[in-house]
Structure 1
């Protein structure tokens, strides 16, 4: 019975020792890894209809529903319970760029545009400018070496081997790849 207990005790001790060594080895790994090394990919999420300042300026009270739809497109929300209201919402989330959200609501009286309610909308060029991430450009090192710098290094062995002629001559003919028909 004591042999069985000794075997179990040594097995538990060995397992805990291996686990401790493994964890100690992993702790030293963080010194060479910075926070930018392992960044997860964040998918670009675009939802809704983008309405620009130019599109908003083209809307005029008194336009028909068809004319509004031609300018703004199909509304994101057109509720059966609120037939006189169309909602255009837009949001975009890109990695490295602040999220952007815009909203436009148009109200109708019958089939005629009566009122427009919207957030501050960017023009198309302003919107495209907001999508570009600002990258910091670091100084590019000089990659040219002078003749003096090149003379500091000894010639490589492969370059010396290429200058020597080959001692084995190539055969005059090669065997056929396929057997000849009889």
Structure 2
């Protein structure tokens, strides 16, 4: 009789533990946005030749700067939705020796656009 009771408890426990993976979708998880909140409107205002002050006014403070000087700024926008995949867009702004924008590079995970992340 104790063997039958053990088997019933083991099967019941197995079903309860398997059920936890289905309950995960019902649990509320907030969207987590990290880094610089970037908009397509702000990025469209960036132009080669602008000064560092103009870039600060448009984009705000950079998330990271180059460790070898203040000539490269990184703006990173990372989004982790409730039950989806993490998306990230990085803008790398390079400055020349005069302090003007020389190059703007965009890197995105999964070819994500800023409009899709908003």
Q: Return the TM-score normalized by structure 1.
A: 0.48
Cα separation, 2, equivalents of 1:28 and 1:104: 47
Residues 130-169 of structure 1 show CA distances to partners (whole Å, capped at 9, x for unaligned) of: 55xxxxxxxxxxxxxxxxxxxxxxxxxxxxxxxxxxxxxx
What secondary structure, in the 3-state scheme, does the structure 2 residue paired with 1:55 have?
helix
> In the alignment, is the contact (CA less than 8 A) between 2:87 and 2:112 conserved in 1?
no
Superposed displacement of residue 50, structure 1 = 3.0
Structure 1 counterpart of 2:45, from 58, 63, 88:
58
Residue 52 of structure 1: CA displacement? 2.6
Which residue in 2 is equivalent to 1:122? 113
Match in the other structure for 1:45:
32
- Spell out structure 1 runs of 4+ moving beyond 6 A: none
Could you say which residue in structure 2 is the equivalent of 1:107?
Answer: 94
RMSD over equivalenced CA pairs, Å? 3.2
Change (3 A) 1:41 1:68: same
Q: 1:62 to 1:34 in 2, by over 3 A?
A: closer
Shift of 1:97: 3.7
The answer to whether the Cα contact below 8 Å between 2:29 and 2:83 also exists between their aligned partners in 1 is no
Greater C-alpha radius of gyration:
1
Cα offset, 1:27, TM superposition? 5.1
SS at 1:74 equivalent = coil
Higher relative contact order (CA 8 A, sep 6+): 2
The question of 1:79 aligning with 2:70 is answered no
Given candidates 48, 70, 88, the residue that maps to 2:57 is: 70
Give 3-state SS (helix, strand or coil) of 2:79's partner: strand
